[in-house]
A = this chain, B = another copy of it.
């Protein structure tokens, strides 16, 4: 039985390619068809719409940009949810907010479709190399059923709780991903203005006790100023919006994260939306260059 994969952007195209490479039959769909071409060449089968695709698979992965896209693809006029077979599993790997995920889980359950939320940690390179980490929320058996697929696309899968807990954990993680680069950028901007070379600051701070280890991965981007997107800044802005929305729903005050959200928006307004989110470094340093 083939597997379905909907959403072939930076992440989804690489995740699906790994499933294909591992020998699975793939049914694919994407809003803009051109992005599917490499996969089609590799043997995946194009479906004209989500509804059509749903009829041909038991396991359907989605990897989409935001809740609105997920909702449209799942529940829209040619959505897949009304067309999946009972007991099929919908695995949503999109980064969306937990309350939305729980609503999707409920929609799935209404139709006797099983649901697992499984957002990922990792961007373009880990996606390509099958080194993602999945945070899975849902039934134990369902996560177990999916484990072989997760292990092709990733290096680890962590079952963090019931429906929505994968999405919940992703909120926590992305808050940290975004904020770590913001505070590091503020620190380096200050350090440079005080007369330290960027190189010295990187050497002293990265891999040290005061910097999250993942920041070292971004060092080449910080250094050469080429912020080709592994994960576009505009999506990080969206994720911080979802974090703020979730915090509102839960009554959690996030004073600095809400400010970081606005800084990402300012950077997006300044034209950095399609750059890697690490370009926030550039945005926060720019005032001190001239």
A residues neighboring B (CB under 8 Å):
98, 158, 160-161, 165, 168-169, 171-173, 175-177, 179-180, 182-184, 186-191, 193-196, 200-201, 204-205, 208-214, 241, 243-248, 250-263, 265-266, 268-270, 284, 286-288, 290
Contact = CB atoms under 8 A, between A and B. Distances in A.
Contact of A175 (B183, B209, B269): B183
A177 B210 contact: yes
A209 B230 CA distance: 17
Contacts of A173: 205, 210
A187, A193, A261 — which one has the most chain B CB atoms within 10 A of its CB? A187
Contact of A246 (B182, B194, B243, B268): B194
A242 B290 CA distance: 24
Contacts of A171: 190, 194
20 contacts: A98-B194, A158-B204, A160-B200, A160-B204, A161-B195, A161-B196, A168-B191, A168-B194, A172-B194, A173-B210, A176-B187, A183-B183, A183-B256, A186-B255, A190-B243, A212-B212, A251-B268, A253-B262, A259-B259, A265-B287
Contacts of A187: 172, 175-176, 179
B255 A211 contact: no
B255 A189 contact: no
